[in-house]
Chain A
Amino acid sequence: MSLPISLPIFMDNHSTTPVDPRVLETMIPYFTTHFGNAASRNHSFGWTAEAAVEHARAQVAALIGGDAKEIVFTSGATEADNLAIKGVASFYRKQGNHIITVETEHKAILDACKRLQREGFEITLLAPAKDGIVTPEQVVAAMTDKTILVSIMHANNEIGVVQDLAAIGAAIKARNPKCLFHSDAVQAAGKVPIDVEAMKLDLVSLTAHKMYGPKGVGCLWVRRKPRVRIDPIIDGGGHERGMRSGTLPVPLIVGFGKAAEVAKADLAEEAVRLRRLRDRLHAGLSKRLPETYVNGTMEHRLPGNLNISFAFVEGESLLMALKDVAVSSGSACTSASLEPSYVLRALGVGDELAHSSIRFGIGRFNTEEEVDYVIELAVKSVERLRELSPLWEMHLDGIDINSIQWAAH
C-alpha cells in the first residue's frame, strides 16, 4: 500500500528544514508563559528562562560531544562563522596572520576571510580534489609558523561531501598544537556523528534550522580546555561570557536544544533510512537516464544528498519542469550573479555540467513514495528537455561538443 503524495514536495533539505512538531511543542510555552529574559537574575521569570537556556545548551553540546559551558548562542551559522574567523583573527593577531580554509567553503567563511585579507591577513584557499575531498597532508603542507587557524567545513552544502575531520585535526595538531581548528558543521550536525574531542576541534559552527529547529538561532562551540579565546564582534551587555552580547532568544534556543536532542537520538537509524532513499533516487535516475554525473564522491557523503548533472539539459529549465518538487541547481541562471556554482567549479566540473546540476536534499519528512514520484518526473522532464536540446542532438550524432568553437557571451 502506498501513501498518497501531497504536492509540492520539499526535497531541498540543505537549504532549510521544517520545524519538527516535537520541537515546536517545546518552544511554545517560552513565547507566552515563560517569556522571561534569561539575563534577569532577580525574579522567577528570569530564572525559568535561564534554566531552559542552560538545558538547551547541554542538549546542543551533547550532539557534538562538547560541554554546555562551551556553547555561545548566535543568530545562526553565518554569525557563528564570522565570530570564529574574525574573533580568532583579532585575538591571536600577535601570534600570526595566516588562515587556511578551502575553496568550497560557505560564503560566510570565504567572505569573512576576504575581509581579513584586506586587513593584512594572509589567506590560503585549499583546492579540493575532483571528488571534493581535502587531505590532511594538503592542510599541513599549507601551514606555516604564522598559521593561527584552519577552517574546514564538515559536510558541504552543495555536494554533501564529508571531510575526514579526525584525520585533519590530528595532522594540524601534530604540526602545531597551538594552531586552532574550526569547522562549519552546519550540514553535518545531526546527520553524521561529530566528536569534538576525536576531531581535535577548537571551534564549531552550528545552526538550528538545518536540523528541524527554528530559523534565527545557531551557536559557536568554543573549546574551554585548553581555553580558546575570541574577541567578540558584537558588543553590549556581555551575554554569553562576553563573546556574544544580545538578549537570548529563549524560545528559539529551547527549540534548538530539542532539535539537537531529537537528531542525536535518531541519528544512526535515520542515516540508514536517508541513505536508502538517496540510493534509490540515484539508481532510479542513472539507470534510466544516460549521461548523468554525480558531483563529489559517493563514498564520503551526507546520507540525504545527491548532486547530479544531467548533461545537455540546463538546470534552471529542469527546475521549471520539476515545479512541484523543491530542489536547487548549481546553474548560473538560478543565481543573481549569472555565475555557475563555485563549489562545482572548485571540483573541476566543467561549466556546462555545472549548469546542468541539480541538488536533491532528502530529509526527515521525505518518503519512498515521494522519491519514486521525483524519479518519474525527473526522468520524463530530462527526456523532454533533451528533445529540445541542440547539444543532445549533436551528442546523438556523435559530434563532440568541445570540438566546436563557441562564442562566449
Chain B
Amino acid sequence: MAYSEKVIEHYENPHNVGTFDKTEDDVGTGLVGAPACGDVMRLQIKVQDGVITDARFKTFGCGSAIASSSLATEMIKGLTLEQAEKIKNTQLVEELNLPPVKIHCSVLAEDAIKAAIEDYRKKHAR
C-alpha cells in the first residue's frame, strides 16, 4: 500500500514520543487497542487549569497508527479538555489522507484522547 506523504512524515519523525509518569497528579493516561489486533496506543496528557499543556504517546501499530497518534498529540496541545474531547477521527483521516482500510487507526487515536481525558478526570473526581 502506498502511504500519503503526511503519514510518512509523521512515521519518520513522530512528534511527542515519550512517557509521562502516570502517577503524577496532572497526568492523564489512555491505553487503547490490543496487541492481538496489531495496534496499541498509549496517549498521555499533562493538564493545567483545564488546558492540555503537553502530550506524549507511544504506539505499537502500523505506520498509519503511529502517524495518527503523533498527529493527535499535536492537535490536542493547547486545547481545553472540553475542546480536546470533541476531536473526531475524521479530522485525522482528512489531515493524513488515510485510506478506508486505515480508518480504524484514526478511531483508535480518538479513543486514546478520550481515554486520557477520562483518566485525568477520574483522578480529580476523588
Contact = CB atoms under 8 A, between A and B. Distances in A.
Interface of A: 312-317, 320, 331-334, 336, 338, 340, 350-352, 355, 387-393, 401, 406-409
B38 A355 contact: yes
B51 interface: no
B116 interface: no
Contact of B59 (A351, A352, A390, A401): A390
A401 B61 contact: no
B46 interface: no
B39 to A, nearest CB: 7
Nearest to B11: A320
A334 B3 CA distance: 12
A314 B17 contact: no
B35 A406 contact: yes
A313 B33 contact: no
B63 A390 contact: no
B14 interface: yes
A314 B33 contact: no
Contacts of A392: 60
Interface size class of B (residues with CB under 8 A): 20 to 34
B75 interface: no
Contacts of B101: 336, 338
Contact of A320 (B3, B32, B104): B3
Given A388-B60, A390-B40, 7 more contacts: A320-B8, A390-B60, A391-B40, A407-B33, A409-B32, A409-B33, A409-B108
A194 to B, nearest CB: 36
B62 A389 contact: no
Nearest to B108: A409
A320 B63 contact: yes
B42 A352 contact: no
A27 to B, nearest CB: 32
Interface string B4-36: 000010010010010100000000000111111
A332 B36 CA distance: 10
B63 A408 contact: no
A393 B19 contact: yes
A317 B10 CA distance: 12
B10 to A, nearest CB: 11
Given A314-B62, A388-B66, A389-B58, A406 B34 contact: yes
Contacts of A334: 1
A329 B36 CA distance: 15
Nearest to B35: A352
Interface of B: 1, 3, 8, 11, 14, 17, 19, 31-42, 58-63, 65-66, 101, 104, 107-108
A351 to B, nearest CB: 4
Given A317-B62, A393-B58, A408 B37 contact: yes
Nearest to B34: A406
Counting chain B CB atoms within 10 Å of each CB, the highest count among A313, A314, A331, A338 belongs to: A314
A387 B17 contact: yes
Contacts of B31: 390
A358 to B, nearest CB: 13
A336 B102 CA distance: 11
A317 B35 contact: no
A390 B58 contact: yes
B93 to A, nearest CB: 16
B14 A390 contact: no
A317 B34 contact: no
A220 to B, nearest CB: 34
Contacts of B59: 388-390
A314 B14 contact: no
A338 B62 CA distance: 12
A61 to B, nearest CB: 40
Contacts of A315: 38
